[in-house]
Amino acid sequence: MHCPLRPASFRLLTPLLFAALALAGCDGPPWTPDDVIDYKKGLSLYLFRPVEAPVPTGWPVVLFFHGGGWQYGTAEQFFPQCAELSKLGYLCISAAYRVRSRDGTGMEEAVADAREAFTFLLAHARSLRADPERIVLGGGSAGGHLALATAMAARDNGTPARGLLLFNPVVDLSPGTPDHVPAGSAWQAYSPLHQLAPGLPPMLILQGSEDREVDPATAARYCERVRETGTGCQIAWYPGERHGFFNYSRSRYRFFDTLWETLGFLDAIGVGGDIGAPRRLLRLIAPRSV
């Protein structure tokens, strides 16, 4: 997939747009989910629901997994994205999973939890008013890896996700990479670069060019290899940016920049938020309750 995510006619306006959104948009912390549901004992899904009633098939869904090297981090990382996406008609969910610092667990347990969160969402789609045909998986860094690992299992189980939103994702767990040691001896079975096969959903990678934790060249190589399998893969490059640049706490400007890129991708894969484009900018600027 090589769709232009930023229309040429809009490029000159984007710096002003994102500056305005950084000043006026987003309700700011604390972000409060509309509901918290346990998908297994001690692990929760944090739901941000749209104001509008869903269409008969249900709301489109974005399910996020936080980063932290499978060792730390919380679901709150993606609360800002969920707060904004819910204003645009998406049921946005941020999932908790086990991490080493709290639970003494490793990457394999984190992968198992992420896959179980997706399975729970599919099983309870009707009661959650979610459209099971429009579920997009996303995450940052190790959370991006979990989104990919979940999508690989969903593909093999015949319940594929609709798309992947990957913020500087970990894609290579081979020896010599920063994430090989946490991955352990089972690294190859969980390394996206080493588990390439047709059938993954289209994906967007948002990548800083100066990332020192996820090698930009590796991200580019992975995306090219994915295209060779017949799956669409687009990279949105952010010159001069390092790891985690997309987080609200790092830069409100980049937060809205990546949010706009996200919306373009979701539109391109047919997972719109059921709110017309003319209303989107007003929704981003307005408080979430409007």
CATH number, domain of 24, equals 3.40.50.1820
| 3, part of any domain | no
Among 37-51, 70-84, 197-211, 273-287, the least confident range? 273-287
Tokens encoding 97: 């999973």
Q: What DSSP assignment string belongs to 35-83?
A: EEEEEETTEEEEEE--SSPPPTT-EEEEEEE--STTTS--GGGGHHHHH
* Residue 274 domain-assigned (yes or no): yes
Give residue 75's pLDDT.
98
pLDDT tens-digit readout, 130-164: 999 999 999 999 999 999 999 999 999 999 999 99
- Closest CA relative to residue 118, chosen from 34, 171, 191, 45: 45
The type of residue at 104 is G
What's the full length of the chain, in residues? 290
Tell me, what's the pLDDT at 30?
78
In a domain, 61, yes or no: yes
pLDDT value for 176? 93
Q: Please report, for residues 141, 147, 252, 281, the alpha-carbon distance to residue 257 in angstroms, rounded to integers and kept in the order given.
A: 18, 21, 8, 13
C-alpha dihedral (269, 272, 276, 281), degrees to nearest 10 = -90
Residue 270: the pLDDT is: 92
Cβ(161)–Cβ(150) below 8 Å: yes
What total number of domains does the chain contain?
1
89 alpha-carbon distance from chain centroid: 16
Whether 1 is covered by a domain: the verdict is no
Q: Given this model, what pLDDT does residue 269 score?
A: 95
pLDDT digits (tens, 9 = 90+) for 217-238: 999 999 999 999 999 999 999 9
Measured CA angle at 209 (ends 61, 237), to 5 deg:
45
- What is the structure's pLDDT at 274? 61
Determine, yes or no, domain membership for 230.
yes
Q: How far apart are CA 59 and CA 241, in angstroms?
A: 33
Does residue 51 belong to any structural domain of this protein?
A: yes
Select from 60, 141, 142, 138 the least CA-distant residue to 105.
142
| pLDDT of residue 197 exceeding 60 | yes
Query: Is residue 213 assigned to a domain?
Result: yes
Position 107 scores a pLDDT of 96
Residue 67: give the domain boundaries.
8-285
